[in-house]
Amino acid sequence: MTRAVGGAPARVPQAPSPAAILELLAGRWVCGAVAAAARLGVADALASGARSSDELAVALCAHAPSLHRLLRALASLGLLQTLADGRFALTSLGEYLRSDVPGSMLPLAQIFALEEHGTSWTTLAYSVASGESAFEHLYGRPLWDYLDGDAELNRTFSDAMTALMWSAAPQIAEHLALDEGCTVADVGGAAGTVLAAILERHPHVRGILYDRPASIEAARRTAPAIVLERAQLVAGDFMRSVPAADVLVLSHVLHDWSDADAGMLLANCRRALAPHGRLVVWECVIEPGDAPDFGKLMDLEMLVLTSGRERTRAEFARLFARAGLELVSVTPLAGGALLQGRSCRR
């Protein structure tokens, strides 16, 4: 054995094992197990306490031996715990798959359970070869048009966006300094999760929730009370126009679009901004290097579903500049980054 300086054993790098490739490929198995639990409602069925697989099978109308195998796998992933008597209980992590808890990730898991999502991902190679959305290739129209044609699916997608922004919304609100009486427009704001956090933290501002007609119709039923009380709900197409405001917020919106389309949206934002207004963007920002990066995988999700993309700081700066905006700051936070911009000074 070699010795490092000081006589301590030197760490000899281990040769990679082919089994590591299997572990990577098995990511699909993990996703499938979690998605199946979401579709069946396993977490809600365990909300009141531990149950045996036979008891759960009756409650969920499932095949008991097969359900036991799923529960055993979920326990190995840390979502369930197997008790001494063989019953299964939710762990603190598994609680987030319940439908009735703050921060529930169930809607996102339900999106991953959709046939459309899984089939699109199996066609990733098409997107890589063509640069086009696998979803649009498979289903004949863009994701947004597809959602508009299915009210239930649109509702699930809106709920998933709410889940995605649940932990980000308070961070966005906390890092915004807002003048009294200013107007904040949440553009593409779905059910208003981010706008609600801003209105709660800044009681002196006015709000506008702006999104597609189907999303605004859903928001009238599901938006937080503070949004319904203190904000205008406005339906429209942000590729055509954006409501005038002092502060415009785009949360996980730009990554849905190609550079050309994102540039059109940003130009609309610049035209809608008050003279000294600000643009606030929440996105993943891809960092250089080969370290594990959630944003690099989210980037593939955007490619497959929308032909959109995640971006580096430099790419954001160029995108802003082409739309007549200046990227003023990038603040890394948990789960993403807060980018702030303003109209370029003449």
d(CA 45, CA 218): 27
Residue 255 is among the residues annotated as catalytic for this protein: yes
The answer to whether 342 and 329 are in contact (CB under 8 A) is no
Q: CA 21 → CA 26, 27, 31, 261, 297, distances in Å?
A: 9, 10, 17, 37, 17
Q: Is 236 helix (H, G, I), strand (E, B) or coil?
A: coil
Angle at 130 between CA 124 and CA 136, to 5 degrees: 65
Task: Quote the tokens at residue 29.
Answer: 């198995």
d(CA 196, CA 184): 11
The answer to whether 67 and 53 are in contact (CB under 8 A) is yes
d(CA 269, CA 128): 30
The single residue of 68, 202, 252, 255 carrying the catalytic annotation is 255
Q: Which positions are catalytic?
A: 255
